[in-house]
Amino acid sequence: MKIAAQCNSPLLQKSLELFLDKHLCSYNKCDIVVRDKPCLDDERCFYIGSDEKADLKKPFSKAQLILALEKHLAVLNPQGKNVDAIIRVSDTQMDFGILEKRIESLTQEYQANIIRVVKAFYEK
């Protein structure tokens, strides 16, 4: 995912540079252009603002920004060409059921190890 940030707000520009440091590139080579003003002439435009027409409303977190940009890129590029692997796994990252099962499994394993160590200590 290649992103160019062109914002009039210096605060928003710097925030985007920090959030998207791995994905930033020049305007000519980008897949998406992030702006703080609506633009109708460029389909690559991703508008961040406070109004209803915004693709992402302020305030936002880094995770919200990345997810919204991934969805926007998926709409622009339905065949998946030039799309990072992160987009393909974004849906599984949002499934907390998998995370809960993994945490439960690790907790049970940790509990079993503690019980084994305590039993070994008292059997001496």
Encode pLDDT of 86-124 as tens digits: 444 444 445 677 778 888 888 999 999 999 999 999 987
Which residues, 6 or more positions from 99, have their beta carbon under 8 angstroms from its beta carbon?
A: none
Which range marks the domain in which residue 9 is found?
A: 3-93
The answer on pLDDT for 80 being more than 60 is no
pLDDT confidence of residue 88: 44
pLDDT confidence of residue 107: 92
* Nearest C-alpha neighbor of 110 from the set 102, 122, 120, 121: 102
Query: In whole numbers, what is the pLDDT of the chain averaged over residues?
Result: 82
Q: Do both 113 and 64 map to the same domain?
A: no
The number of distinct structural domains making up the chain is 2
User: CA triplet 47, 55, 31: central angle to 5 degrees?
Assistant: 65
pLDDT confidence of residue 77: 78
Q: Kindly state the percentage of the chain with pLDDT values over 90.
A: 24
The answer on pLDDT for 48 being more than 80 is yes
Encode pLDDT of 12-22 as tens digits: 999 999 998 88
- Here the CATH number for the domain that contains residue 58 is 3.40.50
* Nearest C-alpha neighbor of 62 from the set 124, 16, 3: 16
Q: Do both 31 and 89 map to the same domain?
A: yes
